Amino acid sequence: MSDQNFFLAKTLFREFERKHLAFVGTLEDLDLVWAIGYGQKSGHPVGLKELVLADFGAPSTVQRRLNRLRSRKAIVQRVSVEDARRVEFHLTEETIHRLEAYKAFILENGMASRDPEIAAKTRSAGAARDTWTA
């Protein structure tokens, strides 16, 4: 992939992220969403302790980021079924839907393109934008 095509691809991905993943304020927020989603999909929801131990930041920083994601309706906080003292974080259905759309966008337009001018500028950026769902 040429440098020009790399920047074009990144631009198209960021455009999609800004439009459809508006709840993500920073890359660190996105990292938290990925970690929470991974735990949720693997059947082992994560709590605050796991996120702090995974080095997402100091406890107060992680809590602030989680509060921001909760206020933007990206995640929910639930009491663990196994241990009522433990709080777990889960992605909301809307967040899961948006991440599935992001995954489809990446597979269709990014990695699957294998360059040729980023698969004709992602099937001509205008046409691709029309197919994106909210």
Domain ranges (residues) in the chain: 3-131
Residue 128 confidence (pLDDT) above 50: no
Residue 133 in this model has a pLDDT that exceeds 60: no
- DSSP letter, residue 78: E
The answer, yes or no, to whether residue 23 has pLDDT greater than 70, is: yes
End-to-end CA distance of the chain: 30
Please state, in angstroms and rounded to a whole number, the distance separating the CA atoms of residues 11 and 9: 5
Mean pLDDT on 24-50:
93
Distances (CA, A) of 13 to 7, 10, 76, 105: 10, 5, 26, 8
pLDDT of res. 119: 52
pLDDT band at 118 (very low <50, low <70, confident <90, very high): very low
Return the pLDDT at 109.
Answer: 74
For domain 3-131, is the CATH number 1.10.10.10? Answer: yes
Lowest mean pLDDT among 68-82, 85-99, 109-123: 109-123
Q: Which pLDDT belongs to residue 40?
A: 95
The percentage of the chain sitting over the pLDDT mark of 70, rounded to a whole number, equals 79
